[in-house]
Amino acid sequence: DVKVTQSSRYLVKRTGEKVFLECVQDMDHENMFWYRQDPGLGLRLIYFSYDVKMKEKGDIPEGYSVSREKKERFSLILESASTNQTSMYLCASKSPGGTEAFFGQGTRLTVV
Amino acid sequence: SQQGEEDPQALSIQEGENATMNCSYKTSINNLQWYRQNSGRGLVHLILIRSNEREKHSGRLRVTLDTSKKSSSLLITASRAADTASYFCATGANTGTASKLTFGTGTRLQVTL
């Protein structure tokens, strides 16, 4: 059974904290993605990675960075959390080309 | 910028009726996919249609793709209460280094008994 696992289901952090969201997949996929989901805005792509140590900015990368040191793990980093980063964060992985993506269960982050 | 825009934003129907959702996108694509999301959970893949295909079926799902109009539709026939969820279209395109997947804003479907 294929799996994408996000480290936390719910997270509460304080403004200014450095926040790490972790995502692990067990399907040996090259491509991994981080999205945030907000009401009325759908899913917006923050960053994606097409190989170990390789990354590309998505549509809303400001305030975020990513790390992919191993193929199975893709981390999203909020350098200095702000209240406008309160959101649902979704990680996904897929093989290259036209294939389906597999999603984690999501992390609901609240920044207070 | 958002690639896909779904229409309508919300849809309420009775069990047994058909549900149709539409998706429009802006640039060239390799494929278009539809996903389903139950409340507060991750997304689950439903169906993929390639840019050289016009129609595809899977069970009670029917997807059409019109690349000249840059639009797609998802039809769910004989809907059930368990179909209540949000539905998203996603377009796949090669960026040169990766296959990027861009989602739309979604349609919330409510199926009542």
**CB–CB contact A106 B88 (8 Å):** no
Mean pLDDT of chain B: 91
Give chain B's domain count: 1
Nearest CA-CA partner of A78 in A25, A17, A28, A35: A17
Mean pLDDT of chain A: 94
Give the residue carrying structure tokens 């170990």: A52
| Overall average pLDDT of the B24-42 stretch | 90
| CB-count exposure of residue B96 (10 Å: 0-12, 13-18, 19+) | exposed
Q: What letter does residue B18 receive in the DSSP assignment?
A: -
Residue type, B68: S
A84 by DSSP, 3-state: which? helix
CA distance A110 to chain B (A): 14
Give the model's pLDDT for residue A65: 97
CATH of the domain at B27: 2.60.40.10
- pLDDT, tens only, A53-97: 899 999 999 999 999 999 999 999 999 999 999 999 999 999 887
Q: What letter does residue B109 receive in the DSSP assignment?
A: E
Give the model's pLDDT for residue B46: 97
User: Which chain A positions have a beta carbon within 8 Å of B88's beta carbon?
Assistant: 42-43
Chain B residue whose CA is closest to A38: B105
Q: How many residues does chain A have?
A: 112
Give the model's pLDDT for residue B2: 47
Q: Is B26 on the interface with A (CB under 8 A)?
A: no
Domain A4-111 = CATH 3.40.50.2000? no
**Residue spans per domain, chain A:** 4-111
* Helices and strands: H and E segment counts in chain A: 0, 11
Give the one of B42, B101, B104 whose C-beta lies nearest to A104's C-beta: B42
Give the model's pLDDT for residue B111: 97
Chain A residue whose CA is closest to B43: A103
Q: Contact at 8 Å (CB) between A98 and A1?
A: no
Range of the domain at B51: 5-112
| Overall average pLDDT of the B24-49 stretch | 91
d(C-alpha B104, C-alpha B91), whole Å? 9
